[in-house]
């Protein structure tokens, strides 16, 4: 990817992030309820709170200022690297996100690697096989996976492998209150990563690999490589798989964004201590600074994933970076 397209995409990313922040700030402001009252009632155990305490808390939180002023103050803090403080706990939002984001990235990365390896393997078989029965079987399995909601698949995995078989823990990271060990994290990661990896986007990945491989395997350069006596494994990997992965790579960024969004729901099902749990707890408590921080950081990660997908596409097919005919769009 050359410098000019990269700069153009970065500028677009900044504009998208700015628009997203405005929309979320306005939506949270219009949402029913009073954050000051919600925080005070949460601290009092749900008991009613006097109106004078609510008014004082609103002034302390800056909620009595006009919306443009509050947004300008929040945006100025973000530009300085300050995401504000949690209404509920008073801790910096950056610290809250810093504690949750690595767990979400770990889950998303594990699911992405698992999904990519599985999709490439299955798609390569489906695109290369001459057996119609095997190809139809793969397509049927992919269709079923694609039509199953993520939380349904997660609950099925939880029931089979945790409740019935007892192979993996049902959630969390080891014993409550104890620091998680590497073994506990690895064991707890298997089911949520599998649920996220083999969601509806897995079928899209398989079909893209299958289509790309089927399109390339009869190309003249592949036929010539076979005629020269090149080893079948070399033909499959170098001459078929690499160009066949171009449509798949073009979809990588969007698929990663979908995986990140899906991770939030999976985290709730498996009690995984990531951004999904953080956002859910903040929404329940109307902790708007934390919600805004989660949205902003999520948007930044999604934008970075899209840029990575475009870079991968350009690496596999330089015509995509140059915008020449025949390139697969990113």
288 touches 31 (CB < 8 A):
no
Element spanning 189, H or E: helix 182-197
34 touches 86 (CB < 8 A):
no
Cβ within 8 Å of residue 48, ≥6 positions away: 41
Domain 97-322 coded CATH 3.30.450.40: no
The distance in angstroms from the start CA to the end CA of the chain is 12
Classify residue 125 as exposed, middle or buried by CB count within 10 Å of its CB (0-12, 13-18, 19+): middle
Q: Give the pair of three-digit tokens for residue 95.
A: 């610290």
Helices within 90-170 (DSSP H only):
93-128, 132-147, 150-157
Classify residue 60 as exposed, middle or buried by CB count within 10 Å of its CB (0-12, 13-18, 19+): exposed
Per-position pLDDT tens, the chain of length 330: 556 666 777 777 778 778 877 888 888 777 777 778 777 777 776 677 777 787 887 887 777 788 888 888 888 888 888 888 888 777 888 888 888 888 888 888 888 888 878 877 777 777 667 777 887 887 787 777 766 777 777 888 888 888 888 888 877 776 666 677 788 888 888 888 888 888 767 777 777 777 766 676 667 766 676 667 666 666 666 666 666 666 666 666 666 666 777 788 888 888 888 888 888 888 887 788 888 888 888 878 777 777 776 666 666 555 544 444 444 433
310 touches 330 (CB < 8 A):
yes
What are residue 279's phi and psi, to 5 degrees? -65, -40
Please tell me the distance from the alpha carbon of residue 43 to that of residue 301, in angstroms, as a whole number: 33
What are residue 92's phi and psi, to 5 degrees? -60, 140
295 touches 287 (CB < 8 A):
no
Q: Give the pair of three-digit tokens for residue 104.
A: 């979400």
Nearest one of 300, 255, 112 to 189, comparing CA atoms: 112
pLDDT of residue 166: 82
Domain chopping of the chain, boundaries: 16-79, 97-322
pLDDT of residue 325: 43
């Amino acid at each position: 990817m050359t410098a000019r397209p990269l700069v153009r995409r970065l500028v677009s990313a900044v504009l998208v992030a700015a628009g997203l922040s405005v929309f979320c700030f306005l939506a949270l402001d219009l949402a029913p309820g009073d954050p000051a009252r919600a925080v005070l009632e949460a601290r009092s155990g749900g008991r009613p709170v006097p109106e004078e305490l609510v008014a004082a808390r609103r002034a302390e939180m800056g909620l009595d200022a006009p919306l443009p002023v509050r947004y300008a103050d929040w945006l100025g803090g973000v530009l300085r690297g300050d995401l504000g403080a949690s209404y509920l706990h008073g801790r910096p939002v950056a610290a809250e996100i810093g504690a949750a984001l690595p767990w979400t990235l770990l889950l998303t990365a594990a699911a992405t690697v698992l999904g990519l390896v599985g999709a490439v393997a299955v798609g390569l078989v489906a695109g290369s096989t001459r057996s119609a029965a095997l190809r139809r079987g793969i397509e049927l399995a992919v269709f079923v996976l694609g039509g199953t909601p993520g939380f349904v698949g997660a609950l099925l995995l939880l029931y089979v492998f945790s409740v019935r078989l007892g192979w993996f823990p049902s959630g969390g990271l080891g014993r409550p209150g104890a620091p998680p060990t590497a073994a506990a994290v690895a064991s707890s990661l298997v089911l949520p990563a599998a649920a996220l990896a083999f969601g509806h986007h897995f079928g899209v990945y398989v079909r893209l690999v299958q289509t790309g491989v089927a399109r390339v395997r009869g190309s003249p350069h592949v036929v010539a490589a076979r005629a020269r006596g090149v080893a079948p494994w070399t033909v499959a990997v170098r001459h078929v798989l690499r160009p066949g992965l171009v449509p798949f790579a073009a979809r990588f960024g969007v698929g990663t964004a979908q995986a990140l969004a899906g991770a939030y729901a999976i985290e709730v099902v498996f009690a995984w201590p990531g951004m999904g749990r953080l956002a859910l707890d903040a929404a329940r408590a109307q902790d708007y600074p934390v919600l805004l921080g989660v949205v902003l950081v999520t948007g930044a990660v999604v934008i970075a994933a899209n840029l990575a997908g475009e870079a991968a596409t350009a690496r596999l097919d330089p015509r995509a970076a140059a915008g020449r005919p025949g390139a697969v769009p990113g």
